């Protein structure tokens, strides 16, 4: 059965979903996006995703394309019309369509599109073993907190690890500070046993998975620091894992060719994964 997409204010088979050539998203990457998971036909962490969407739009002066309540109904309808119990929802908003001109056109309406990505959510197969990753220079701009559709540096960096059959590339600044992965946030358990991740600022995207996990960690009184670490810290770390909407928590067992810990998913990573899964179960049941 064909996938159903939302485009030009209607639901259509995705094969018939067409976008205007002069959409500023297409010509300038002038837009933002969201990716959220659904399981058993329930969207996870909907309010958090809509909050982040509103924030990203605000930061680049694009109005919300619909009131929040209407967007929420459309998201439910998108899930209802697609023949999948679980997967990812991709939602994109661009500034709109007009003859190409760098300045914002005076009267322009944002363009909302949504579709469903048929990917497996958080499969345990990779998580039980862990994955390999590399580091590479962070080539991005100075507002990585905005979920911009301009992802060229991310895809070029991700390709580097893909070509080595590895799962992710972690990005570092000229001083060696690790910011995040190309589509993930990254955590280490450092040599003192402290859980650390980069602070939420303009150098990283504030991941929803990261936010939820840190709330859990705070509630459970687990020691952690939102304090940046370097490539050297990462190479010496006892544990490394990354977080994302589709992966939840994923242990990294090899970084830049070096084995992490004893080469299997670490105890803290496993414990946090169980706590995060309990949050997901709660969302699905809500
Ligand atoms: C650059 C970047 N960092 C982190 C994340 C993880 O965010 P989330 O947990 O909301 O999926 C993403 C997700 O796409 C991302 O693109």
Q: What's residue 1's pLDDT?
A: 65
What is the tens place of the pLDDT at every residue in 194-229? Answer: 999 999 999 999 999 999 999 999 999 999 999 999
End-to-end Cα separation, the chain, in angstroms: 28
Task: Tell which one of 139, 171, 244, 279 to mutate to probe ligand 1, the residue whose CB is within 8 A of the most ligand atoms.
Answer: 244
Paired residues of 258 in beta bridges: 255
Whether the CB-CB separation of 25 and 149 falls below 8 Å is answered with: yes
What is the average pLDDT value for the chain, to the nearest integer? 97
Whether the CB of 209 sits within 6 Å of ligand 1: yes
Answer yes or no: is pLDDT of 97 > 70: yes
Task: Tell which one of 149, 207, 243 to mutate to probe ligand 1, the residue whose CB is within 8 A of the most ligand atoms.
Answer: 207
Q: What's residue 122's pLDDT?
A: 83
The rounded Å distance from CA 99 to ligand 1 centre is 32
What is the 3-state secondary structure of 29-43? CCEEEEEEEEECCEE
Average pLDDT value for residue range 26-36: 98
What is the tens place of the pLDDT at every residue in 139-191? Answer: 999 999 999 999 999 999 999 999 999 999 999 999 999 999 999 999 999 99
Whether the CB of 35 sits within 6 Å of ligand 1: yes
| Angle of CA points 235, 239, 245, to nearest 5° | 110
Listed in sequence order, the residues at least 6 apart from 162 whose beta carbon sits closer than 8 Å to its beta carbon are none
For every residue of 64-100, DSSP letters joined together read: -SS-HHHHHHHHHHHHHHSS-SSEEEEEEEES-B-SS
3-state SS assignment for residue 142: coil
State percent of the chain over pLDDT 90.
97
Whether the CB of 243 sits within 6 Å of ligand 1: yes
Torsions phi, psi of 242, nearest 5? -120, 165
Rounded to whole angstroms, the Cα distance separating 210 from 248 reads: 9
Q: What is the residue with the minimal CA distance to atom 13 of ligand 1?
A: 183
Token code pair at residue 11:
């639901």
Whether the CB of 207 sits within 6 Å of ligand 1: yes
Answer yes or no: is pLDDT of 38 > 70: yes
Cα of 233 vs its chain's centroid, Å: 24
Token code pair at residue 37:
């998971």
Average pLDDT value for residue range 248-259: 98
Answer yes or no: is pLDDT of 286 > 90: no
Whether the CB of 168 sits within 6 Å of ligand 1: no
CA 248, 249, 252, 255 torsion: positive or negative? positive
Q: What's residue 14's pLDDT?
A: 96
The pTM score is: 0.97
């Amino acid at each position: 059965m064909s996938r159903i997409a939302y485009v030009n204010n209607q639901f259509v088979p995705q094969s018939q979903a067409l976008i205007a050539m002069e959409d500023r998203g297409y010509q300038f990457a002038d837009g933002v996006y969201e990716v959220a998971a659904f399981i058993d036909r329930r969207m996870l962490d909907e309010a958090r995703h809509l909050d982040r969407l509103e924030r990203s739009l605000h930061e680049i002066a694009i109005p919300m394309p619909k009131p929040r309540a209407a967007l929420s109904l459309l998201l439910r309808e998108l899930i209802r019309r697609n023949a999948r119990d679980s997967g990812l929802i991709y939602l994109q908003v661009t500034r709109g369509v007009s003859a190409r001109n760098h300045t914002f056109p005076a009267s322009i309406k944002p363009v909302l599109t949504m579709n469903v990505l048929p990917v497996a959510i958080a499969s345990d197969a990779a998580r039980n073993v862990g994955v390999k990753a590399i580091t590479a220079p962070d080539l991005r701009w100075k507002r990585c907190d905005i979920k911009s559709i301009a992802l060229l540096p991310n895809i070029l960096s991700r390709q580097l690890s893909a070509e080595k059959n590895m799962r992710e590339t972690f990005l570092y600044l000229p001083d060696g500070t690790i910011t995040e992965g190309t589509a993930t946030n990254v955590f280490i358990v450092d040599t003192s046993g402290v859980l650390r991740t980069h602070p939420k600022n303009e150098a990283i995207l504030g991941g929803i998975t990261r936010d939820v996990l840190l709330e859990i960690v705070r509630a459970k009184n687990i020691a952690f620091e939102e304090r940046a670490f370097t490539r050297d810290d990462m190479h010496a770390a006892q544990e490394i894992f990354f977080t994302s909407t589709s992966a939840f928590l994923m242990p990294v067992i090899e970084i830049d060719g070096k084995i992490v810990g004893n080469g299997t998913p670490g105890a803290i990573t496993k414990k946090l994964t169980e706590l995060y899964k309990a949050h997901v179960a709660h969302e699905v049941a809500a």
